[in-house]
């Protein structure tokens, strides 16, 4: 077998393998879009949870296409959202008014269901993705949220059943106590009779003392007339002036309190806030001085009513070594002053001689 025949056989094998692979791709539905008879539609969603390339598109539960592209809606002057491109089989005829609805299963599977349109006219489509018309889509509710809402509803129903059970128990308790209702009615009837007797007695008492009640009413009427005469126009005017003065004093008091608001704010402010009034700053400085004195006294005190033996000031008064050092310094200074006394005496004699005869400073120098 020569080399040319071998190359021919290898080429035929490669060609046959390529044809088989192409046929398998077409049979299993994974052929490129250019090899399919498809049409395209673009759908606008406000949100598209779980939608991506390859998501199936179904109509009445049968797959008629898939998602080929998902992108954000960046059209000027439009609301935010997502534009999803759908590639559909040409044989799947859609009616005008069809709504692509995103459906989600409880376990998380996502698909686009084409709901039937309400018009006999066909839905416009495009032969390519760039020429596809744009329609509005819809999104179904999240099943997990619906399940959570149902769970909450069941919990509320359980609470209602518990309340009904408690009410039934209360009714049973009332039923058990129904034997005492007759006794309660009899007691109420007896009480009514007693109230009637009491009312009769009160009526008799009023009739017996009617002669005393009339002078009392006359006296009350006379007191009322005297009060009306007392409040004449002059008294009323004076009372009005007094009320006006009280109101004016109240207004001045309010103004004074308003003026005190900055001072009160400074007095109630935290320690790290600088006051804005003179009195507030004085109080603030006094607080700082008090705090410093408190810190000093705390340092000087040992917490038990005595001086702190470890402080510098306490050591000045309590340490014997410090007194010894001061004593040595004093003795050294005394010895130094004693040694300087002859020098000071000689200097004093020199100064006296110069003051009596200043020419003596140059006399010896000129002689030399």
pLDDT of 350 higher than 50 = yes
Domain count, the chain: 3
In this structure, the answer to whether residues 140 and 42 fall within a common structural domain is yes
- Given 98, 126, 144, the domain boundary residue is 144
Confidence at residue 85, expressed as pLDDT on a 0 to 100 scale:
93
In this structure, the answer to whether residues 56 and 91 fall within a common structural domain is yes
Is residue 2 domain-resident?
yes
Looking at mean pLDDT, say which of 23-27, 94-98, 233-237, 364-368 comes out highest.
94-98
* Of 88-97, 322-331, 359-368, minimum mean pLDDT range: 359-368
d(CA 47, CA 193): 79
Mean of the pLDDT values across residues 202-213? 70
Helices (H), the chain: 3-27, 143-176, 181-208, 210-230, 233-268, 278-300, 312-318, 320-356, 360-367
In this structure, the answer to whether residues 14 and 48 fall within a common structural domain is no
Confidence of residue 368 (pLDDT cuts 50, 70, 90): very low
Both tokens of 267, joined, read 């007095």
Is residue 169 domain-resident?
no
In this structure, the answer to whether residues 19 and 69 fall within a common structural domain is no
Confidence of residue 227 (pLDDT cuts 50, 70, 90): low
Q: Could you give the maximum distance between any two Cα atoms of the chain, in Å?
A: 158
Mean of the pLDDT values across residues 178-200? 68
CA atoms within 13 A on the CB side of 327: 6
Mean of the pLDDT values across residues 35-44? 83
Both tokens of 322, joined, read 């410090």
In this structure, the answer to whether residues 118 and 20 fall within a common structural domain is no
Both tokens of 24, joined, read 């398998």
Domain range spanning residue 132?
Answer: 37-144
Is residue 329 domain-resident?
yes
Contact 83, 71 (CB under 8 A): yes
Confidence of residue 87 (pLDDT cuts 50, 70, 90): very high
Is residue 311 domain-resident?
no
Confidence at residue 84, expressed as pLDDT on a 0 to 100 scale:
93
In this structure, the answer to whether residues 120 and 46 fall within a common structural domain is yes
Is residue 280 domain-resident?
no
- Contact partners, residue 210, CB within 8 Å, separation at least 6: none
In this structure, the answer to whether residues 65 and 2 fall within a common structural domain is no
In this structure, the answer to whether residues 19 and 75 fall within a common structural domain is no
pLDDT of 234 higher than 70 = yes
d(CA 41, CA 54): 15
Looking at mean pLDDT, say which of 47-56, 199-208, 297-306 comes out highest.
47-56
Taking only the tens place, the pLDDT of each residue in 135-174 is 899 888 776 666 666 666 666 656 666 766 776 676 566 5
Mean of the pLDDT values across residues 113-127? 87
Taking only the tens place, the pLDDT of each residue in 291-334 is 777 776 766 666 666 666 666 666 666 666 766 787 888 888 88
Is residue 344 domain-resident?
yes
Contact 88, 38 (CB under 8 A): yes
Is residue 166 domain-resident?
no
In this structure, the answer to whether residues 45 and 139 fall within a common structural domain is yes
Is residue 137 domain-resident?
yes
In this structure, the answer to whether residues 13 and 76 fall within a common structural domain is no
d(CA 96, CA 124): 7
pLDDT of 67 higher than 90 = yes
- Given 110, 144, 178, the domain boundary residue is 144
pLDDT of 263 higher than 80 = no
In this structure, the answer to whether residues 80 and 113 fall within a common structural domain is yes
In this structure, the answer to whether residues 5 and 80 fall within a common structural domain is no
Mean of the pLDDT values across residues 3-24? 84
pLDDT of 181 higher than 50 = yes
């Amino acid at each position: 077998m020569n080399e040319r025949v071998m190359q021919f056989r290898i080429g035929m094998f490669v060609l046959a393998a390529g044809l088989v692979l192409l046929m398998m791709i077409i049979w299993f539905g994974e052929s490129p879009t250019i090899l399919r008879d498809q049409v395209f539609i673009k759908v606008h969603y406000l949100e598209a949870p779980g939608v991506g390339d390859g998501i199936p598109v179904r109509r009445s539960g049968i797959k008629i296409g898939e998602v080929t592209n998902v992108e954000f809606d960046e059209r000027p002057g439009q609301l935010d959202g997502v534009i999803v491109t759908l590639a559909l089989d040409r044989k799947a005829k859609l009616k005008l008014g069809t709504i692509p609805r995103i459906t989600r299963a409880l376990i998380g599977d996502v698909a686009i269901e084409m709901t039937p349109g309400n018009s006999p006219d066909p839905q416009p489509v495009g032969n390519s993705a760039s020429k596809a018309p744009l329609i509005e889509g819809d999104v179904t509710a999240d099943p997990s949220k619906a399940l959570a809402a149902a769970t909450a509803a069941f919990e509320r129903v359980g609470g209602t059943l518990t309340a009904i059970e408690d009410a039934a128990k209360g009714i049973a308790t009332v039923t058990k106590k129904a034997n005492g209702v007759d006794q309660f009615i009899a007691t109420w009837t007896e009480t009514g009779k007693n109230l009637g007797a009491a009312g009769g007695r009160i009526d008799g008492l009023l009739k017996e003392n009617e002669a005393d009640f009339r002078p009392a009413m006359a006296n009350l009427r006379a007191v009322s007339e005297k009060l009306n005469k007392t409040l004449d126009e002059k008294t009323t005017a004076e009372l009005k002036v007094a009320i006006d003065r009280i109101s004016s004093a109240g207004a001045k008091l309010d103004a004074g309190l308003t003026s005190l608001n900055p001072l009160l704010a400074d007095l109630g402010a935290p320690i790290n806030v600088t006051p804005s009034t003179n009195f507030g700053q004085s109080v603030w400085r006094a607080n700082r001085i008090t705090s410093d004195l408190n810190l000093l006294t705390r340092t000087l005190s040992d917490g038990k009513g005595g001086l702190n033996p470890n402080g510098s000031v306490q050591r000045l008064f309590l340490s014997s070594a410090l007194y010894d050092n001061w004593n040595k310094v004093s003795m050294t200074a005394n010895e130094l002053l004693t040694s300087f006394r002859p020098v000071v005496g000689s200097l004093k004699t020199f100064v006296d001689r110069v003051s009596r005869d200043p020419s003596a400073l140059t006399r010896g120098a000129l002689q030399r």
